[in-house]
Amino acid sequence: MFLTFFARGDLKKMLTIQIHQLLTVGVFICLLSAIALFGLETGLMGHGWSDVIDINTWGLVFSTHFGTIWRWELIIAFLSCLALCLNKRRDIVLMLMASAQLIGLGFIGHTVIHQGWVAKIQQSNAVVHLLACAYWFGCLMPVFFCSRFLYKAKQHNDARFALKQFSRYGHVAVCLVLVTGIINGLFIIPMPYNWGALYIKLLLIKILLVFVMVLIALYNRYYLVPKIASGSETSNKRFIYLIWFEWSLALVVLLLVSLFATMSP
């Protein structure tokens, strides 16, 4: 999304070159992990490791609700690999495919614990949460690359424009992450809350880390960015360090979600 809508001119060309290798690795990891996750889920639904690579069991799992959704996850992940070969419109095609995969994740896991219209609201909320989180976390890496062009005369204006656009929509994304996250918790966690449960403890750690990320984002936007605009190279370096720190926190948040998403609330 950053490359498609925010970057322009020479900056877009430079960022595309720098991010291409990272993007390629990410797309292939996405495909391999989707295959591996389906195999492991097959083993969990079946009789253990023997069913992980059993084709017949795979066929049975594909007939389940999870399998129906994950079939499309695998197809889109494979098509994303092919999309890397495109010369034109590659970025927007990959963005649409990644969005489709995220949308699919909103219809499995804890989002299937309810039925009827309640389930539809919960799943829609989960989809918005996933897309907003992906925007926030996903754009941090191109923001890091982009910030390095702020002091290069040829790309200075384009870099400032891209960062302003990211920040403008970033406010919306962060608000959506917080609101939809709270709604997700209300849907998933039964009352009264069992504060001693491991799920709750990990969720509270995640909330704390997200709160720190919000503080960093506010500090960057309203304190460092104005100083960078006035020509402060020290502020720019601090901005880059904090982007890396925020990215690291987001990675830990994802790891926590990957863990407690397998647990019962």
* pLDDT tens, per residue, the chain with 265 residues: 898 899 988 889 889 888 888 899 999 999 999 999 999 989 988 888 888 888 888 889 999 999 999 999 999 999 999 999 998 889 999 999 999 999 999 998 888 888 889 989 999 999 999 999 999 999 999 998 888 887 777 888 898 899 889 988 999 999 999 999 999 988 888 878 888 788 889 999 999 999 999 999 999 888 888 887 777 778 888 888 999 999 999 999 999 999 888 887 7
Nearest to 177 by CA among 207, 204, 219, 139: 207
Of 105, 124, 147, which closes a domain?
105
CA angle 109, 111, 116 (to 5 degrees): 135
Structurally, how many domains does the chain consist of?
Answer: 2
Of 105, 136, 160, which closes a domain?
105
Of 77, 105, 133, which closes a domain?
105
CA gap 130, 124 in Å, rounded = 10
The verdict on 75 and 184 lying in the same domain is no
What global pTM score does this model have? 0.90
pLDDT at 183: 93
Residue 111 forms part of a structural domain: no
Residue 110 forms part of a structural domain: no
Q: Which domain holds residue 153?
A: 116-265
Query: Euclidean distance between the first and final Cα of the chain, in Å?
Result: 34
